[in-house]
Structure 1
Amino acid sequence: MKYPIAIEPGDDATAWGVVVPDLPGCFSAADNGIDDAIENAKEAIALWIEDAIANSETIPKPSCITELQKSGEYDGWIWAIAEVDPALVDDTIERINITLPRRILALLDRRAKSAGESRSGYIAHMTLMQ
């Protein structure tokens, strides 16, 4: 997924500001230039999407930069694309094979049972809690 981002240039005294117009409230900043601003925007987008999914909200599709530029809201800003892994919004079930020591597997199973979840459900739940 490729989201357009608007980057407000910074300098030695001011951070580079980043806004993701398609994702309300999604913004970021960087101290060390445009490359860091884009990387930080990718992280902000991923966190925004994770939060939206956790709250059962719809994930807006990315807009076209030229359409966003027409608003004039970010005149003088630099436009770029922040590409994030589409797996962030993919809920396709996938079977995996992992290797764990038996004692860890036993502990995992006890904790899953105590939480009233399956092994897979418990692993997913604990991952999302981070």
Structure 2
Amino acid sequence: MTHYIAIIEDAGPDFAVGVWFPDLPGCFSAGDDLDDALRNAPEAMELYLEDFEQDGKPLPKARSLRELKADPEVAPDLANYMFAVIQLRDRADAAE
């Protein structure tokens, strides 16, 4: 199963917890707290990737944590924020 690394920014109790995917530019989600944000992240990823499938484009390559840490644009975010691995459901399961 494919998975993507999500970066999670928790700016405190007065702000939503933000989630974004370095390998999926423009794909983001949020929640009132960490648990809520992590519950919302897979749905955001699924909706984002549906556009790729509908346009007949291949899914973006999911980089490993090691690859992301080597990327100078992503490394600072990984050093400053939490991250999570969000698993992409099998595409046959996503249709259900």
Alignment: residue pair count: 91
- Residue 81 of structure 2 corresponds to which residue in structure 1? 77
In 2, Cα distance between the equivalents of 1:79 and 1:87? 24
Q: Does structure 2 retain, via aligned residues, the 8 Å contact 1:50–1:88? A: no
In 2, Cα distance between the equivalents of 1:88 and 1:7? 28
- Residue 62 of structure 2 corresponds to which residue in structure 1? 62
In 2, Cα distance between the equivalents of 1:19 and 1:4? 9
Larger radius of gyration: 1
Change (3 A) 1:88 1:26: farther
What is the TM-score normalised by the length of structure 2?
A: 0.79
Residue 57 (structure 1) shift? 2.1
Amino acid at match of 1:57: K
Q: Does structure 2 retain, via aligned residues, the 8 Å contact 1:16–1:37? A: yes
Relative to its length, the structure with more strand (as a share) is 2
- Residue 41 of structure 1 corresponds to which residue in structure 2? 41
Runs of 4+ residues deviating >4 angstroms: none
List aligned pairs for 1:1-130, cutoff 5 A. 1-33=2-34, 35-70=35-70, 71=72, 72-74=75-77, 75-87=79-91
Change (3 A) 1:36 1:18: same
Three-state SS of the structure 1 residue aligned to 2:68 is: helix
Residue 84 (structure 1) shift? 2.0
Between 1 and 2, higher relative CO (CA 8 Å, sep ≥ 6) is seen in: 2
Gaps of 5+ in 1: 91-123, 125-130
Post-superposition CA distance 1:47-72 (Å, at most 9, x none): 01111111222211211112212332
What is the TM-score normalised by the length of structure 1?
A: 0.61
In 1, Cα distance between the equivalents of 2:91 and 2:65? 23
Relative to its length, the structure with more helix (as a share) is 1
In 2, Cα distance between the equivalents of 1:8 and 1:88? 31
The alignment yields a C-alpha RMSD, in angstroms, of 2.4
In 2, Cα distance between the equivalents of 1:69 and 1:36? 26
Gaps of 5+ in 2: none
